[in-house]
Amino acid sequence: MSGKVVDNLGRSSGTIKAGASGANVTYDTTEKTSNFNAEAGVGYLVDTSGGAITATLPASPAGGDSIAFKDYKPSFGTNALTIARNGNKIQGNASNSEISTDRASVVMVFVDSTEGWVFVEESNVGDLRPPHIIATGGTETTSGDFKIHTFTGDGTFSVTNAGTSAGSTIVDYLVIAGSGGGGNTGTGGAGGGGAGGFRQSFPNPATGGLSISVQDYPITVGAGGGGGAPSAGVGGSGGNSVFSSITSAGGGGGGGGTPSGPPVKGADGGSGGGSTANAPSEPSTPSQGGSGNTPPVSPPQGNDGGNGSFAATPDAASGGGGGHGSAGANATSDNPGGHGGNGGNGTASSITGSSVTRAGGGAGGTRSPYPQGGRGGTGGPGGGGNGHQSQDNSPYQGQTNTGGGGGGDSAFGNGGGGGSGVVIIRYKYQN
């Protein structure tokens, strides 16, 4: 018998005979027209003209057991034959197989628990492909039938098999950039850093996933921006994170400045940095947070930073950095003491199989010295650092691999550094 062999492990063509490569089967000449349990040593003529059929392989085969399948009528191309693995692997993969080409023939031999059932034929065995994506790179974990690759630093996502339509050809992604660092003014009350840009396809059907091919995909994980020093002022913006065609923009640094200069707005970015305070003694320059979703993408990758307050020292304070889930809060001026704006909320994702919140904005600091009652803001859920307050000189850093923004300073230390980003890739790897 001969024919074109097609399964959800791929396609090849060639001549297959009963007994090829050691296979030994006797054909049952009564065609199968409904689901059935296949037995070792038997070849089956299968008629799917009335609808798709599933053949279930033996649960406890012995090494050397052989089974064959043949399209009795040219109907596999219309209604496929599914070969259910029944707990054993097929070609080393934990996936069912599908034969979907008219006049196809296939012989299967059970080898061992590692490879399971393998297809044997006289040529082109190497053309048979697994139905699901096979790839390496990053830290690999599984959740149910899905494999997850987590990159906490630069690396390579290497695809050696792109899957088939019968298995999977699409990957989901979560790409978070590095966040902005908190600012410094030299007199205190600097803006919080904006969260790194947050882009994901999971589980939003509007964005979809990415179709991949056999190749190496370079992965870039953005670093967090440095916290502003008294001489530097504005916090550093975070680095971009990149996977294939998906680029998430680094978060904007928090606004800062020098004691004698005007206030500086937060920088634009994936999420915008919060603005420093604008006291009446300084030029009346607008005190505005940086713009989020810069450059613009849809759905938006982040939100704007909050504005600083306009008040006399020591009651002025600075805005919080934007987060992916919400904008950074504006500062408030109380008497005595100003309150820095909270960082914007991050967003929860369950792409790894458990819910984790990332991309929260850093909080704004306050100018108010101890004991005037000023209060730094609270970092946004998702790794955002708190704002500095009073004579606290602790750098409130954004959390590593969350894209959480750094907190703004209070004139007694540097702004908090931004948190680095992360790239996570997910796909179905078995049935």
Cis peptide before 336 (omega within 30 of 0): yes
SS3 78: coil
Closest CA to 295 of 275, 269, 272, 274: 269
Residue ranges of domains in the chain, CATH in brackets: 3-127 (2.60.120.640), 132-431 (no CATH)
CA dihedral 348, 351, 353, 359 (to 10 degrees): -30
Higher-scoring residue by pLDDT: 389, 65: 65
Tokens 């969260």, residue?
195
Question: ∠ CA 32-38-44 to the nearest 5 degrees?
Answer: 45
Mean pLDDT along residues 268-285 = 78
Mean pLDDT along residues 202-220 = 87
pLDDT tens digits along 71-119: 998 898 888 888 999 999 998 888 888 887 788 888 999 999 999 999 8
Is the pLDDT at 311 greater than 80, yes or no?
A: no
Share of the chain above pLDDT 70, in %: 81
The pLDDT, as a whole number, for residue 140 is: 97
User: How many CB atoms lie under 10 A from the CB of residue 62?
Assistant: 8
Closest CA to 418 of 332, 350, 349, 358: 358
